Amino acid sequence: MGYFALLVSLVLLALLSYKRVSPLLVGPFVAIVLAVMTGLNITEMILGPYMEAAGSYFIRFFLIFLTGSIYGILMHRTGAAAAIADKIVKFIGIKWVMAGVVIATAVLTYGGISLFVIIFVMYPLALAMFQQANLPKRLIPGCVALGAFTFTMTTPGSPQIQNIIPISYLGTGPTAALVPGWIAGLFMAVAGIGYMMWRANYFTKKGLEFDAHEEVKEHTEELPNFWVSITPSIVIILLLNVVKINIVWAMVAGILLTIGLMWKRLEGPGKWMEAVNTGASNSTVVMLNTAAIVGYAGVVKLIPQFPAIIESIKNIGASPYYLPAITTTALAGLAGSASGGMSVAYEALSETFMNLGIPLEAVHRISAMAAGGLDSLPHCGAVITLLMVCKLTHADSYTDIFVTTVIIPLIAVFAILVPLCIAMF
């Protein structure tokens, strides 16, 4: 009965997420369903393991979400993020517009800006470039998703939450498994860009052209200097990976530097305070939504069959290096979130991961990059947001998103990253 109950709860988790029911409702609901079907005391379960797991996630990562969201909104409001993207896309040129949009998105993501902010920054810039290149706008989501949802959020050195989560559980560093991680990351980037350029040629040969002239708007405000704009992101990356200070303090430094360098971009202290408040409010919504799903893991661990499930995965005959890859990517797919799936995996399996007998640096990198595989299935919140901003549907553009953020990352993890970790560790 326990196996069936777990299957039912997981299906409900995926189905309700796909139907866009709030995670604040989905998390406790599927936990209650699991408790009822396995005979657990509902009150004790909700007030105990469920809230403990959700609260633990909130305690561990609240300041990271808070500072990251504030930094992202400041870079957006000041025009700094747009200046970085605009410069890179123009430098690459119209012929390489697909690569330019991916690289610009990647630089912003690796620089610490939230992918939800990047979506709003990149769409109007990509739209203008696609008009010049005469390419249909349905290709934009694939480029933005590749630059934001894959290698830049999970490769060594990234300040994104997906690369930070394993640190608090394993005691590793942000550059864990540097060489195999970046080899796999570069494969994602090159293969993804190659695919998107092939798609552009395919549409051009079919005679499809740019089809959103009414959406293109001319810049009405001069963008800030590129080097001034990118300096805070460079400082964040250096502080995190070279000076090796905590990600929270690295983000605080980026926030303060952005305010200092961009003071004149917003009119007076009131505008700055309003932007900071908006960033803070945005962070709590994302944080609570994720924590509500993570709480479900605290209940999963209680079912009698859970140890047997883990043992069966461990005994499938493959190298133990594949265990964190399989579990994190599966849970990320069910949660529709890389950070949510990874957090569920670590809440439920952190001790198992640490006792596999393989280097923790490898566990860190494999779990982080695997979480960026099945996370962007159709019910993923970031995918839905991206399509809404681009005024497109899943039928228009999800094929490209699926190839660049699911198929290619899974190949990178299971065919490149894990074998490299086995060979190098």
Phi, psi of 208 (to 5 degrees): -80, 135
3-state DSSP percent of the chain in helix, strand and coil, to 5: 80, 0, 20
Q: Is 156 helix (H, G, I), strand (E, B) or coil?
A: coil
Q: What is the pLDDT of residue 33?
A: 92
* Average pLDDT, integer, range 26-40: 89
* Average pLDDT, integer, range 326-345: 84
* Average pLDDT, integer, range 43-71: 88
Q: Which of 15-29, 149-163, 208-222, 291-305 has the lowest mean pLDDT?
A: 208-222
Separation between Cα atoms, residue 336 and residue 331, nearest integer Å: 8
Summarised one tens digit per residue, pLDDT across range 227-260 is: 999 999 999 989 988 898 888 999 999 999 999 9
Closest to 87 (Cα-Cα) out of 100, 72, 74, 102: 100
Tokens of 210: 């740019």
Q: What is the pLDDT of residue 38?
A: 86
Summarised one tens digit per residue, pLDDT across range 345-390 is: 888 788 889 988 999 999 999 999 999 999 998 878 788 888 888 8
Check pLDDT > 80 for residue 400: yes
Q: What is the pLDDT of residue 379?
A: 75
Q: What is the pLDDT of residue 305?
A: 75
Q: How is 170-220 classified by DSSP, letter by letter?
A: H---TTTTHHHHHHHHHHHHHHHHHHHHHHHHHHHHTT-----GGG-----
Q: Over the chain, what is the mean pLDDT?
A: 87
Q: What is the pLDDT of residue 314?
A: 65
Q: What is the pLDDT of residue 325?
A: 93
**How large is the C-alpha radius of gyration of the chain?**
21
Separation between Cα atoms, residue 265 and residue 223, nearest integer Å: 9
- pTM exceeds 0.85, yes or no: no
